[in-house]
Structure formats: structure tokens, C-alpha cells
Structure 1
Amino acid sequence: MSDHHLSDSVLGRVVNEIEETAIAVILGLMTIITFINVVLRYGFNTGIIWGLEATTFLFAWLVLFGVSYAVKVTANLGVDAVINLFSAPVRRFLALVAAAVFIAYGALLLKGAWDYWANFANLPRTTGRWFPTGLEEMKRTSYRGWYEVVDIPMPEWLRWIEPLMNEGEEYEKIPRFIPYFILPFGMALLLFRVVQATWRIATGRDENLIVSHEAEDAIEDVAHMNRER
């Protein structure tokens, strides 16, 4: 591995662009849909029927993108009063232990997210109780790609997935595997970010997983404002 951060690699830059672009687009879509619905409701006594469900899904996508992005920008809050009592080598060791636990936790989340999403995507779930030991045998009765959401209508430009996922039958609403895809994707991003953070600790670039000190930053901002007066 070179001296550059993992986030400076090609994969890191691609993930950065995906996260930042997705967060911006999701916020924009939520704002537009909500604004249009408010105007229609109070101005014309009508509304977009699928607006609430769409913003709910978008908010879920925003949260799950935000989980991994918070690890990337070290925005996680934590208490390090006890850790700071130890010497630098001990702090680094404790940070690596915490990172290992975080990686195991992220792997569990990814397995659970995949198994839940696969149920709606006509894909095999993993075997094994805690960590994947293989893939289950798929049967025709295992296919659940026909599950739809409640309100969001199926757009015409997505009709091409019907022969693949619904045996040629038409969807009235969008299939659930589309909005639910954020579950395994978001957990994969989280695991990637945790591995990044662990590598930074292992190579001495960071001391621990806790970098954000919101209260201290707020106090410093106020002090800086007072000095400028």
C-alpha cells in the first residue's frame, strides 16, 4: 500500500463521488416532492398520492448513506476521556480493538441486509447463523420479486425488468427490491469506510475512530467569535 490514504485511491474517489452525489440528489428530490405536495394540498386541495412513501424511502436512503459518510468524514461522536489517560501506543491498540469489533459488526449488518433484500430480489440468501457460510438453494417458490410497494407507480422506463423479475407480468407499483437495495449497498459502504478508518489507525494517520468533538468545537467557535469582536 502506498503512502496515500485509501480514500485517495481510485476506489476511494469513486465511493466518495457516489456518496456525495447521492446525498445531494436525495436531499434535492425530498425537497422538490415535499414542496410540490404542499403547494398542491393548500393551493389546489389535491396532492401526489405517492409523495409520502417516496420521501420515506428517500429519507431511509439518506440515513444509510449518511452512516457510511459520517465514518468517512469522522463525524461520529464518542467519549474518549478514559482513552486519553493512556499512552499513545495503548490508545492505538485500543483503537484497533474497537475497529476490529466495528468491522465484525459491519459484516453482521451486511449479512443481515443482504439476506433481507435477497428475499425480494429473487436471489439466494446466505447460510450460517452469524457469518455467511455459503448460499442457500433457490427454488421457484423462493422467488419474491413480485412484491410491490404501496403507492409509487411503476415508471415505463423500468418495464424491462418485468421479464427478469416477474416472469413477464406487469408491475402496477415499483417492486420492493428497488428501494430496499439501499440495505445491502449501504452496509457495504459502511464496511468499506470502517476498513478505511482501521487502515488509517494501523498506519498511524489517526489515533482512534472518534475524531469529532462537537461540544469542544462549539466552544472554540464561540471563543473565536468573541475574539473577533
Structure 2
Amino acid sequence: KHSLKEIPLDVPSQVCITRDNTQLQVDGVLYFQVTDPMRASYGSSNYISAITQLSQTTLRSVIGKMELDRTFEERDIINSTIVASLDEAALNWGVKVLRYEIKDLTPPTEILRAMQAQITAEREKRALIAASEGRRQEQINIATGEREAFIARSEGEKQAQINKAQGEATALITVAEATANAITQVADAVRHPGGMEAVNLKVAERYIEAFGNVAKTGNTLILPANLADMGGLIATAMAVVKNTGKVL
């Protein structure tokens, strides 16, 4: 009597040797289903034992073609390869192999320690790289900030110089315009009747005032180099005053 339901079958643990001569302790579980009770009864004296032994030999063969690292990375490939090999042979026993799963894959203790040391070294390496990248990024940020601050200061100084130059230029223009206006007004005044006489009077006053100021600064008596010119200026000033009085 055979059950047609899916049946799980524990495959005993066994030692497998990898391509790089590392021993692994491997066990698994096999799922199968009886599809032909007649073949299951007469195709093999014990189809369960036959499936178990075939799965073990197939597992050793597949592991033997792989290096240690690949056995951990390619469990799905190992499982599917075993199922494909078993299913073809199990047809004669009236059995359909559904799937195979590795439960435990254990290397020797010294290999485990070496793997753990490698993992620790990789983690430390990544931590050092992360710390180095952090310091590098920090230096980049500091340099970028200093560069931007320098640019901002330079722009500020540049703008201050521009503003100062513009202010000085504006002041010069204002002074020049005021001077030009004053000259224009003086010229207009000179062109009017009595304008020239007023100018001569002003010059004579300044001349006399200047000599008076110089004479006050010390005990030395200072006389003009040409007294005739001095007298002429005074005479001109008096004439202007008289004429001005007549006009008034």
C-alpha cells in the first residue's frame, strides 16, 4: 500500500569534499510523491532507500565540482541539480521527486574561525573606509566653506571699492559742476557794466589783506617788491569805489 500524498524524507548528514579540498558536513530534506504504485512496488525493493542513497551520491558529486565559497552562494543551484538528477532515475520506481532542500552546510571549525576572521576584517575595512570618506567629505566641506567665504569677502571688498570710487567720482563731478557754475557766474558778472572794476577792487583787497596778514606774523617789515604796482592797485581800488558811489 502506497500513499499518493507528498512525502518529506530526511537525508542523513554526510561529509562532502569541495573542489578546493574542504570537507563539509551536509544534510537535507527531500520531497517526493508516489505517482505509479505498481512501479513503486515492483520497480525497486525499497524505493525510499534508493532515493536516499541516490540523493547522497548526487549531492557529493555536485559539491565536489564547486569551491567552498560557491557552496554557500549557490544553494539553489545545488538543490535544483539534485532534483533534476533524482527525478530522471526515480521514474523507474514510480516516484516523482518534487524538490530538495539543504538544511545545514557546516565546514570544519578552523574554516569557520577563518571565515569569521575574514568577515570581521571586511567589516573593519568597511568601517575604516567609511571613516576615511567621512573625514574626506568633512575636509571638502570645510574647504568649500572657506572658498565661498573668501569669495564673499572679495566680492564685498570689490563692491566697497566700487562704491567708494563712485562716491569720489560723484563728489568730483559735483565740485567740478559747482566750480563751473561759479566761473560762469563770475564771467557773466564781468560782462555787465562795472563788473571788471569790481574784480579789480576785489583783487586789490585780497592783495592788501595778504600783505597785512604776513606783516602780523613777525616783527619783520615786509614791503612789496614793486611799490608802484601797489600804488596802482590802491589807486584802481579807490577809483572803483568812487565810480561805484556815483552809480549808487
TM over 0.5: no
TM range (shorter): under 0.3
Name the TM-score, length of structure 2 as normaliser. 0.20
Name the TM-score, length of structure 1 as normaliser. 0.21
Name which structure has the greater RCO, CA cutoff 8 Å, separation 6+. Answer: 1
Q: Which structure shows the bigger proportion of residues in helix conformation?
A: 2
Higher Cα Rg: structure 1 or 2? Answer: 2
